[in-house]
Chains A and B, each alone.
Chain A
Amino acid sequence: MYKIDKLNELAKIVAEKREANAALEPRRMTAEEKDTLLATFHPDYKQDEFTVLSAGVNKGDKVPTQLAELLQGKSRITAADVDLSAPDYDTDVLIIGGGGAGASAAIEADEAGVKAMIVTKLRIGDANTMMAEGGIQAADKPNDSPAIHYIDAFGGGHFAAKPELVRKLVTKAPEAIQWLNKLGVEFDKEPDGTMVTTHGGGTSRKRMHAAKDYSGAEIMRTLRDEVINRGIPVIDFTAAIEIILDENGKAAGAVLMNMETKELLVARAKTVIIATGGAGRLHYQGFPTSNHYGATADGLILGYRVGARLLYADTLQYHPTGTGYPEQIFGALVTEKVRSLGAKLVNIDGEVFMHPLETRDVTAASIIRECTERNKGVETSLGKAVWLDTPMIEYKHGEGTIEKRIPAMMRMFGKYGIDIRKEPILVYPTLHYQNGGLNISEDCSTDVENLYAAGEVAGGIHGRNRLMGNSLLDVIVFGRNAGINAAAKAKDTAVPEKLTLDHIERFNKELEESGAASGTASPMLLPHYARRSK
């Protein structure tokens, strides 16, 4: 039951129309309809929410205003603050970030026989990977193929992705699933071993593999366990705040800061992998986010300052179904799997207003249109939202389906008295993913030699929109790939002799001359949520 009577009343309308709505197969939009919808309602098209960069390698490109403030912000240190001549840590491959990509990279680098080390500003596993619910794509069924996966991913990303990255993503996908399974990740399977797979928005084959709706958590906790079993050092509660270069401009380590004591430390490495994840906690355009506490775009800042170019930093993913109500979980992710299992999106009048499995950008824009121009949203104290008719899942597939397939969703709403088996839930788009990021080549290298990037911080794999289940896939495929290539490169690289932080002063000067210096300390490290007394 909702605590607000009005919502219980409105939910009845959804229940009355459930039988008829369940039988509907809503039409999919044409390419033209989608283009118009996106241009009119998708947040990426709101020009006044973006700023054109005045300094750095992407000078002239637009990025979200909050990101521009950090990219054109001020380093937390000057070169004089640290003694680069006596590193506190010496390693072959330094991995910044302890999520799915960082952990995968560490395991592969270790496997290759080099010394790997993870630094993370929180704990290993504190990452968006842990929160991925719905699943991971791989074209491993007889009616599917990596080529079909390629078309889905490339088309879903508006034909903007780098083809060689999409190729790697789709052809390495089945192997990634196999690798995880051999590490002990439990996938949903039939008794004969056949993978239980479903659709995601924009997929043309059912290739979403899952571990209930804890898919990312199951993967992340297994990777973490493996990193610890291998004895790979994990320096937790320690953030990287600047990349260190050698005298030839190649990456050679990072300046670290203990998050609790603020002590500065120096890590020297032959190669560096940035795997810091996304930026949801910057709350672009005031959106709530489904992201982890630490998703503050740090890796983009670290890379940008030493000259690594960004690609598609102006395209964000607003997950269509963030929680719209109640306030305690406002913006929290309602997995797309809810729609994969058959729940439809319904407006205040009980009408199904779209096909539930369009791509995420199109679905988000359609919900925003329903709540604005069409004025068919449900009003709550937190704003407008639309219904996601979860009881339809059990209406279609029988009682017990929700508990078995999406237990996390049932638990999340159950804590606030809402039984998603019996009552529909309210949803509205939430800031979910950065489609772009540091520009990488097929080997995960950035524009700066010996500097690699993998996971959400990297750009180009998904073009301008990512499909469900291609991010968990990306962190595994490109995380491993970065680990393998950074390890191979480290084997051919001597211990860097002269370390420098000259880039800080250089970048400061450029900023000053451009007149665009924001003065904001960056990377941000953590969002500022503490209420300050007046």
Chain B
Amino acid sequence: MENMVNVYLFGKKYQVPAGLTIMTAMEYAGYELVRGCGCRNGFCGACATIYRIKGESALHGCLACQTEVQEGMYVATLPFFPLEKKVYDIEKIKPTEQIMMQLYPEIYSCIGCNACTKACTQELNVMQYIAYAQRGEYEKCAEESFDCVMCGVCSSRCPAGISHPQVAMLARRLNGKYIAPECGHLADRVKEIDEGAFNELIESLMQKPIEEMKELYNNRDIEQ
């Protein structure tokens, strides 16, 4: 007999084998998932889930695909959470402190309860990255929030109504586009290609018989 545990999916009790994830436990119970299931590998944030262990007060946020079931787990999936995403033209905005104030003024209503950080499914310091955003420190906000999968559990717990993942998204785009150093060799290469610097060479490779290409490939010099 397999080692079974009791889990409560939306309050209903099911016995499932220990070792399953919440997601595979739902499938074991017979659910055909449409919502609340995405990459199944912890990258897309589709399977945001909230659970509590029977008899305990702590509420946990997790990704259903990345979390093993436990005895007495009460599970509610959060397949959609209404985050507020502001629309902007990335070419026109600038990485100033004002831009956050303009697009996401609610971040200044943060009361410092830290519920966002406690709920984060990626164990990020969410409140800290919001603090960076408040101060216009977008590079730090981008770094601190980098592993965010935008599942929205943080926002579901926020008394100030902040859409943390969207704030971080804006900070990362500002950082990537305006703050991080520009890449000289990239610009040079794009220009060379535009000027046709490689056309002839590549054209000649395209015309070569396969045997010659094999020679070239098998004897090419590999950078150490």
A residues near B (Cβ < 8 Å) are 28, 30-31, 122-123, 125-126, 130-131, 138-143, 145-148, 150-152, 154-155, 159, 163-164, 167, 170-171, 174-175, 177-178, 181-187, 189-195, 199, 204-206, 211-212, 214, 216-218, 221-222, 225-226, 228-229, 231, 237, 259-260, 290, 292-293, 327-329, 332-333, 407-408, 411-412, 415-416, 526, 528-533
Contacts and interface: CB of A to CB of B under 8 A. Distances in A.
Given A155-B220, A187-B183, A206-B223, 12 more contacts: A140-B190, A151-B205, A163-B206, A184-B177, A191-B181, A192-B184, A194-B184, A214-B147, A225-B169, A228-B85, A328-B21, A530-B32
B223 A192 contact: no
Contacts of A142: 185
A284 B215 CA distance: 34
A148 B216 CA distance: 10
A147 B90 CA distance: 33
27 contacts: A122-B38, A126-B39, A131-B43, A140-B190, A146-B202, A147-B198, A150-B202, A152-B217, A167-B202, A174-B190, A174-B193, A175-B190, A186-B175, A186-B180, A187-B183, A193-B184, A195-B185, A204-B220, A221-B169, A225-B173, A231-B87, A293-B40, A329-B66, A411-B123, A416-B68, A530-B30, A533-B30
| B interface, over-half SS | loop
B193 A408 contact: no
Contact of A125 (B44, B122, B176, B210): B44
Interface of B: 19-21, 24, 27-35, 37-44, 46, 66-68, 85, 87-90, 122-123, 142, 146-147, 149-150, 169, 172-177, 180-187, 189-190, 193, 198, 201-202, 205-206, 210, 213-214, 216-218, 220-223
Contact of A229 (B42, B88, B202, B218): B88
A118 to B, nearest CB: 16
Contacts of B149: 217
A167 B206 contact: yes
Contacts of B85: 225, 228
Contacts of A293: 33, 37-40
Contact of B46 (A126, A148, A154): A126
B44 A131 contact: yes
B186 A174 contact: yes
Contacts of B33: 293, 526, 529-530
Contacts of A529: 24, 27, 32-33
Contacts of B87: 228-229, 231
B152 to A, nearest CB: 12
A242 to B, nearest CB: 20
B187 A178 contact: yes
Contacts of A204: 220-223
A412 B174 CA distance: 28
Contact of B44 (A130, A147, A186): A130
Contact of A333 (B35, B41, B210): B41
A183 B173 contact: yes
Given A122-B38, A228-B87, A292-B38, A31 B214 contact: yes
Contact of B41 (A167, A195, A226, A290): A290
Contact of B30 (A148, A155, A531): A531
A431 to B, nearest CB: 13
B176 A140 contact: no
A141 B180 CA distance: 18
B39 A131 contact: yes
Contact of B176 (A159, A163, A186): A186
